[in-house]
Structure 1
Amino acid sequence: MRGNVIDLAVAVVIGAAFTNIVNSVVKGLINPLVGAIGTKNLDHYSSCLKAPCVVTADGSVKSGVPIMWGSVAGATLSFVITAAVVYFLMVLPMAKYLARQEARKKAREGTQEVIDVTELEVLKEIRDALVAQRAAGRDEL
């Protein structure tokens, strides 16, 4: 149980560190690529639910009901990239490592069973030899 808690704590810390990296990648690379098509920042993409939508530069709404789907898209993109990095760099290699460890453990148990069966057969042969020796000794009397 203690090992699982430590694994979880390490995953949270590394995930938080990757979040900063991913946010930088989204703001430094993805937003400019999107900016080549439209605005320079995903946060500026929005739709108007109730017209006319007037949003000031500081983000306050003067009139209408804007839906800021660009910021949701940016946050979703950040999450997907973070999840992919954590999965492919941490979860997948750890799962493969644990599977190899389990296979090695089963292989060791399999050889132990073979050794146990061999020892059991040897002990049975010794028992049969002793029984045969006793029977031969009684016949001589």
Structure 2
Amino acid sequence: MSEKKETGVLAGFKAFLMRGNVVDLAVAVVIGAAFTNIVNSVVKGIINPLVGAFGTKDLDKYSSCLNCQVAKDGTVTSGIRIMWGTVLSSTLSFVITAAVVYFLMVLPMSKYLARMEARRKAKGGMQEVIEVTELEVLKEIRDALVAQRGSGYSQK
């Protein structure tokens, strides 16, 4: 009994993985992970030095301190450090990533899909796609079989 259940579970899992949107999502995650390295390099190699012209070269070094005790050598011995530079660096990375994804992927794809839709409409609406449910198809098959047989089968 457990083998049948495992086969059903494995078959369901395989069907889930083979759906188009899951595969597309997996590709997007892999590309996004690779793209993150590029964005982080841009932030650390270009943005941070530009900000460093006004202060430290690393945004992660920017912080504030609440109730801090500072030793004679300048190190913080106690208190609460708020690392707002790290948050700023991550925010910049996010904004750059979102801008690149929008302008290089989403916007061109939207324009492309709009052009394709306009072409489809320009060709003429005669080629409308009629979506038929599985139940409707089965009813049509049943009706055709009944008509062929000519039996007294009653339709419900």
Q: How high is the TM-score relative to the length of structure 1?
A: 0.66
1:50-69 → structure 2 map (5 Å cutoff): 50-52=67-69, 62-69=77-84
Q: Provide the residue aligned with 1:120 in structure 2.
A: none
SS at match of 1:37: coil
Shift of residue 52 of structure 1?
2.6
In structure 2, relative to structure 1, the CA distance for the partners of 1:4 and 1:93 (3 Å cut) is farther
**Which structure has the highest helix share of the two?**
1
1:43 paired residue among 60, 75, 81: 60
Aligned length: 109
Gap runs ≥5 in structure 1:
55-60, 114-141
Counterpart of 2:153?
A: none
Q: CA RMSD in A?
A: 2.6
- What code does the residue aligned with 2:78 have? S
User: Which structure's relative contact order is higher, taking Cα pairs within 8 Å and 6+ residues apart?
Assistant: 1
- Label 1:53 to 1:82 Cα distance change in 2 as closer, same or farther (>3 A): farther
Identical aligned residues as a percent:
79
Give the partner amino acid of 2:86.
S
Aligned-partner residue type, residue 24 of structure 2: D
Residue in 1 that maps onto 2:48: 31
Gapped runs of 5+ residues in structure 2? 1-17, 129-156
Deviations 1:42-86 (A, max 9, x none): 0000011223367xxxxxx74100100000000110111011111
